[in-house]
């Protein structure tokens, strides 16, 4: 697969410390490749078995559980936040579960108030409770009318996590394990709550704020700040297996999967459904999935309706090089190729 290797190397120029990509077709691995290093202090290639924080790709898992509970008649999408979490939100009776799933609650995001601007990893060395995050969001300016428009807000997915716990009576990490991780055999996937450290083996994560300072290690921090909006830890094969199972119809019935995929305009070239984006490549190919950015990671997980899946991640939040474009050389090459042969 020299074309994909070349595309990955092209994408890696000016980025780092490392990038890793996995491509599957019909659930079978057809390409894996890495550029750069998993660890600047002890250089080594990034491997498929290396865990990384999947950041906002977590929202796909959270939305899946909510829709499973909806399919069981336990969590109607039209039910209100007030019904499940009484007194938590002002006017919570006007915000529905579906508003949260579709990011149309009108609630402000808590993230920058927690991370700081510029962001500092030292701020994430303590535990944040989900309700603390919601209270932080409520203290921010810019709240809008529920349902008026799409606006990216991690707050919505923190509220969904609290609702999952209210409906099931279980910690959300246990619900995810019982409903998704264990049934799919995702043995390298977990949702830590307060542990600063990633399970081994894992990539080191870095932050580059400016060219002069360079890459600063920011691997250790509490995932509690992200929780059900971004705390899952996994590997590329596990992420691909989950995405194949979800979009292949193994986790949701056809009707509920169709509801998840029913997208509306979001921002720029993106559309949003319930917990997932739809993006069209320049050639018109529609991709479904999610991306994520946090301290030490930027990643994408997308699948086409032909059954091809790409998981791509770099072990840095690189504010010098900027965000990885969705229509980057690797993703375009991976979905454009007509045939694959195991390297």
Kind and range of the H or E run holding 71: helix 58-71
Distance of CA 157 to the CA centre of its chain: 11
DSSP 205: -
* Angle between the N-to-C axes of helices 236-247 and 58-71, in degrees from 0 to 180, rounded to the nearest 10: 30
What mean pLDDT is predicted for residues 33-53? 97
Q: Is 80 a catalytic residue?
A: no
Reported as a pLDDT band with limits 50, 70 and 90, residue 341 is very low
Question: What gap in Å lies between CA 237 and CA 283, rounded to an integer?
Answer: 26
Q: What is the pLDDT of residue 164?
A: 99
The tally of CA atoms less than 13 A away on the side-chain side of residue 113 is 17
- Whole-model pTM over 0.85: yes
Kind and range of the H or E run holding 313: strand 308-314
The answer on pLDDT for 79 being more than 80 is yes
Question: What gap in Å lies between CA 115 and CA 230, rounded to an integer?
Answer: 14
Q: What is the pLDDT of residue 301?
A: 98
Strand order in the sheet with 316-318: 215-217, 206-208, 316-318
3, 217 contact by CB (below 8 A): no
Query: What are phi and psi for residue 319, nearest 5 degrees?
Result: -90, 0
pLDDT tens digits, one per residue of 265-277: 998 889 999 999 9
Catalytic hit among 2, 6, 56, 224: 56
Query: Cβ–Cβ contacts within 10 Å for residue 307, how many?
Result: 14
Reported as a pLDDT band with limits 50, 70 and 90, residue 342 is very low
What mean pLDDT is predicted for residues 80-98? 97
What mean pLDDT is predicted for residues 131-149? 97
Task: Provide the residue count of the chain.
Answer: 343
């Amino acid at each position: 697969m020299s074309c994909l290797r070349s595309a990955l190397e092209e994408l890696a120029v000016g980025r780092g410390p490392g990038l890793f990509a996995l491509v599957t077709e019909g659930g079978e691995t057809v390409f894996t490749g890495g550029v750069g290093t998993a660890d600047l202090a002890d250089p080594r290639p990034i491997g498929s078995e290396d865990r990384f924080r999947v950041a906002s790709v977590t929202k796909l898992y959270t939305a899946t559980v909510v829709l499973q509970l909806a399919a069981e008649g336990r969590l109607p999408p039209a039910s209100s936040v007030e019904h499940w979490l009484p007194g938590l939100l002002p006017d919570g009776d006007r915000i529905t579960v579906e508003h949260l799933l579709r990011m149309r609650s009108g609630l402000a995001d808590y993230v920058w108030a927690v991370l700081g601007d510029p962001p500092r990893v030292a701020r994430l060395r303590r535990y944040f409770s989900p309700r603390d995050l919601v209270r932080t969001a409520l203290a921010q300016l810019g709240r809008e009318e529920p349902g008026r428009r799409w606006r990216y807000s991690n707050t919505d997915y923190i509220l969904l996590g609290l609702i999952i716990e209210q409906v099931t009576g279980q910690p959300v990490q246990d619900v995810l394990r019982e409903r998704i991780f264990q049934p799919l055999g995702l043995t390298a996937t977990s949702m830590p709550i307060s542990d600063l450290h990633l399970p081994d083996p894992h990539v080191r994560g870095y932050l580059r704020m400016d060219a002069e300072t360079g890459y600063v290690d920011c691997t250790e921090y509490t995932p509690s700040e992200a929780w059900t909006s971004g705390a899952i830890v996994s590997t590329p094969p596990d992420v691909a297996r989950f995405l194949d199972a979800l979009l292949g119809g193994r986790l949701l019935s056809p009707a509920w999967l169709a509801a998840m995929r029913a997208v509306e305009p979001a921002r720029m070239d993106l559309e949003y459904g319930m917990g997932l984006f739809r993006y069209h490549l320049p050639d018109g190919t529609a991709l479904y999935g999610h991306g994520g950015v946090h301290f030490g990671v930027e990643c994408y997980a997308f699948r086409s309706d032909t059954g091809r899946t790409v998981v791509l991640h770099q072990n840095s939040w690189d504010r010098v090089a900027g965000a990885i474009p969705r229509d980057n050389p690797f993703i375009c090459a991976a979905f454009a190729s007509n045939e694959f042969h195991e390297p």
